[in-house]
Each structure stands twice: as C-alpha cells, then as structure tokens.
Amino acid sequence: EDTEGEIKREQTQEQRTEKDSMYELSAKNDRLKWVQRMNNIKSIAKEIIINNIIMV
C-alpha cells in the first residue's frame, strides 16, 4: 500500500512530466536522455514532498 507521501510524489511527478516539453521528443528520439529527464523529475518531486513534510 502506498503511503501518503508516495502518492503525492507520484502525483507531482506526473504533473511535471505532463508539463515537460521534452517528454515526447526524448521518449521517441533519445531513450537515454528521456531516462535522465525522468530521473530528474522524480528527484524534484521527492524534494518537493520532503520539503512540504518538513514545513508542516
């Protein structure tokens, strides 16, 4: 079962991915770049959630 933090991280990650203009291009043309970008988005989402938890 997902924790609340994991669910929020996934939602944040999905939102950033949708906004990322490189998502479609990279996924089709450069798989390595796409993986790097997705890892970056995942890290950013995790930081946002951690910062929100600390501030609460």
pLDDT along the chain (56 residues), means of 10: 77 76 66 85 88 77
Per-residue pLDDT at 1:
53
CA 49 to chain CA centroid, nearest Å: 11
The pTM of this model reads 0.57
Per-residue pLDDT at 43:
92
Per-residue pLDDT at 24:
64
Per-residue pLDDT at 35:
85
Backbone angles phi, psi at 2, to 5 degrees: -75, 140
Residues 42 and 12: their CA atoms lie apart, in Å, by: 9
Contact criterion met (CB below 8 Å) for 38 and 17: yes
Contact criterion met (CB below 8 Å) for 13 and 53: no
Residues 39 and 53: their CA atoms lie apart, in Å, by: 21
